[in-house]
Amino acid sequence: MTDAIDFAALTRRAVANVAARTTDQAEGTMALPVEAYFEPERYRREVEHIFHRLPLAVALSLEIAAPGSYVARTIMGVPVLLARAEDGVVRAFINVCRHRGAPVCEPGAGSRKRFLCPYHAWSYDLTGALDNVYGETTFGEIDRSALSLTPLACAERAGLIWISLKPGATFDIDQWLGDFVGQLEALDLDNWHIYERREIDGPGWKVAWDGYLEGYHQSALHPNTVGKNTIGNMMLVDAYGPHQRIVFGRKTLAGLVGKPESEWDMTGHIRLIHSAFPNLSISGVLGDHALVSQLYPGPTPDRSLTVQTMLCREKPTTEAQAAANRLFSAMVLEAVAEEDYAVGFKIQDGLASGGNREFVFGRNEPTLQHYHQWVARFSAG
């Protein structure tokens, strides 16, 4: 990691909160109509303005590290193809042939020199250019340059591949990330090892995502998983435009109260969560494991899809390392799928019951207030 993250300052702030039995807070409470979680037209507008137009971190650079490597996956109904060409640049395309629309690459990841349509054998190189038309002399005259794979805006920054899902949309990744890019670069994501990747069905996007942004629920909902060693209802929050860095404290922080700073371990008592708007969460990074979560709205307001990627510091070479990786993977799956999302589905099912007209976010939930304010801002444009 670089020195972009001041661990001493963060630990100092966390200890002060623990000593005062408090947490970072917003100026007041905030109410949000429950329709924000399920009203179809609002949902459609927010998905279009936020998830189809803004930059999304859809893959780790680690997934397509070498020239010739690719990843093909469907993201919110859009067939996406990412490829790193021989020039080292990652590009993104709509994964459909320009002839008759068949996918030019099956879902998955791997390495190849070109993409071949299974329908009529048109082929494309790693830059998306149409490089061969089967039976071209009998097909008729065409402008190959006008029939490259449809590109999507794409940028690589801080160990992540960012794209826009809407053809023709553009973005400036440095402007989008602002000062938050230094926080992400400090995580050194390029030098981790991917242990496992999986997909989890969840409740509606907002119901699910709310749980990633606060620690108020950790003691009640996660006493034997992520809350076992974490102080409930205590966090630090720093905002970078729409993005946020959240710091949770381990219960060992209490042991630092009253001790001279010279005796402190400045990284061993806090947990970092980097939350990039609108749907990327990177948790951990101070130990041997980290969790990268990407949460996508589903086809209806009441469902979502979460991609979990478990990272470890190095490729496991011993049984002890393998066992530690399995334990971490099982713990985060239990915490998210069996605890957070299990309750989230129940919340989602009760939204239209009339039991609530609005939800109230407390002063101790500043991250939720910040997030929903930015959702409103982007969806209004």
The answer to the question of residue 319 being in a domain is yes
Final residue of a domain: which of 129, 148, 170?
A: 170
Q: Do 101 and 218 lie in a common domain? A: no
Q: Which of 57, 67, 65 is nearest to 184 (CA)?
A: 57
For residue 286, name the pLDDT band (cuts at 50, 70, 90).
Answer: confident
What's the average model confidence in pLDDT over 13-27? Answer: 97
Residues, the chain, total?
Answer: 381
Q: Do 129 and 235 lie in a common domain? A: no
Final residue of a domain: which of 170, 202, 218?
A: 170
The answer to the question of residue 255 being in a domain is yes
pLDDT single digits (tens) 106-132: 999 999 999 999 999 999 999 999 999
Q: Do 330 and 262 lie in a common domain? A: yes
pLDDT single digits (tens) 46-103: 999 999 999 999 999 999 999 999 999 999 999 999 999 999 999 999 999 999 999 9
What's the average model confidence in pLDDT over 152-179? Answer: 97
Please report, in angstroms and rounded to a whole number, the separation of the first and last CA atoms in the chain. Answer: 37
The answer to the question of residue 2 being in a domain is no
361 pLDDT higher than 60: yes
CATH of the domain at 242: 3.90.380.10
Cβ burial of 196 (10 Å; 0-12, 13-18, 19+) is middle
Place of tokens 């205590």: 234
Q: Do 273 and 336 lie in a common domain? A: yes
Q: Do 44 and 143 lie in a common domain? A: no
Q: What is the pLDDT of residue 26?
A: 98
Half-sphere exposure of 35 (CA within 13 A, CB side): 8
Q: Do 259 and 128 lie in a common domain? A: no
Q: Do 63 and 35 lie in a common domain? A: no
For 25, the token pair is 């807070």
CA dist., res. 118 & res. 105, Å (int): 9
Residue 72 structural domain: 56-170
Q: Do 235 and 368 lie in a common domain? A: yes
2 pLDDT higher than 70: no
* β strands within the chain, DSSP E: 30-33, 56-60, 69-75, 78-84, 90-94, 108-111, 114-116, 123-125, 130-132, 151-152, 154-157, 160-163, 193-202, 230-240, 243-250, 270-276, 280-284, 289-297, 304-312, 358-361
Q: Do 158 and 183 lie in a common domain? A: no
b/e sequence 244-255, b meaning 16+ C-beta within 10 Å: bbbbbbbeebee
379 pLDDT higher than 70: yes
What's the average model confidence in pLDDT over 336-344? Answer: 97
1 pLDDT higher than 70: no
What's the average model confidence in pLDDT over 135-163? Answer: 96
What's the average model confidence in pLDDT over 164-180? Answer: 97
Amino acid identity at 173: I
Whole-number mean pLDDT of the chain? Answer: 96
Q: Do 291 and 331 lie in a common domain? A: yes
The answer to the question of residue 1 being in a domain is no
Q: What is the pLDDT of residue 4?
A: 82
The answer to the question of residue 276 being in a domain is yes
What's the average model confidence in pLDDT over 175-187? Answer: 97
Percent of the chain whose predicted confidence (pLDDT) is above 90: 95
Residues 221, 304: contact at Cβ < 8 Å? no
CATH of the domain at 73: 2.102.10.10
Q: Do 354 and 218 lie in a common domain? A: yes
Q: Do 166 and 229 lie in a common domain? A: no
For residue 284, name the pLDDT band (cuts at 50, 70, 90).
Answer: confident
CA dist., res. 67 & res. 83, Å (int): 8
What's the average model confidence in pLDDT over 37-41? Answer: 96
Final residue of a domain: which of 140, 170, 200?
A: 170
Q: What is the pLDDT of residue 380?
A: 87
The answer to the question of residue 83 being in a domain is yes
Number of domains observed in the structure of the chain: 2
pTM over 0.85: yes
Residues 297, 205: contact at Cβ < 8 Å? yes
Q: What is the pLDDT of residue 381?
A: 67
